[in-house]
Structure 1
């Protein structure tokens, strides 16, 4: 069985604290298209990196992070 090659998506966010991370963890850990993720709170843009399958839509990630109360914008 062949698996799709993962893609890395990078976002600027307003996620700033460990409390914020706990809020988004449930969504990110339970999303079937996200293999792994990390959040760099030491970067001034609070960078969220996702390793995903190609079928995921960036706009859905942004919409759902915003629904949780945080700003989220894809970086190119």
Structure 2
């Protein structure tokens, strides 16, 4: 089953998105992802099957970024 996870991040530019892109793209259960840099929360939306939000938070943390799941 496909689910959409939404995260607040501190990824603030296209350059920073390009730093995390390889990590997100390599995750096998992530189908699509995108950042909304215009949003005040710099939202990361992920379409995935079987993805633990804590895994995404840890993934971005290893790249030097903060990430927290939002309730929507």
Q: Which of the five TM-score ranges fits, normalised by the shorter chain?
A: over 0.9
Match of 2:63 among 43, 63, 68: 68
Give the number of equivalent residue pairs.
Answer: 71
CA distance in 1, matches of 2:59, 2:24: 10
Q: 2 CA distance for matches of 1:67 and 1:14?
A: 13
Residue 35 of structure 2 is matched in structure 1 by: 39
* TM-score normalized by the length of structure 2: 0.95
Q: CA deviation at 1:57?
A: 1.0
> Per-residue CA shift, 1:3-51, capped at 9, x if unaligned?
xx21000000000011101000001111101000010000010000000
More strand by share: 2
Specify the alignment match of 1:23 in structure 2. Answer: 19
The 2-side partners of 1:13 and 1:36 are apart by 17
| 1:48 to 2:44 alignment | yes
Alignment root-mean-square deviation, CA? 0.6
Query: What secondary structure is seen at the aligned counterpart in 1 of 2:35?
Result: strand
- What SS class does the counterpart of residue 28 from structure 1 fall into? helix
In structure 1, C-alpha distance between the alignment counterparts of 2:24 and 2:59, rounded to whole Å: 10
Q: TM-score, normalised by structure 1?
A: 0.90
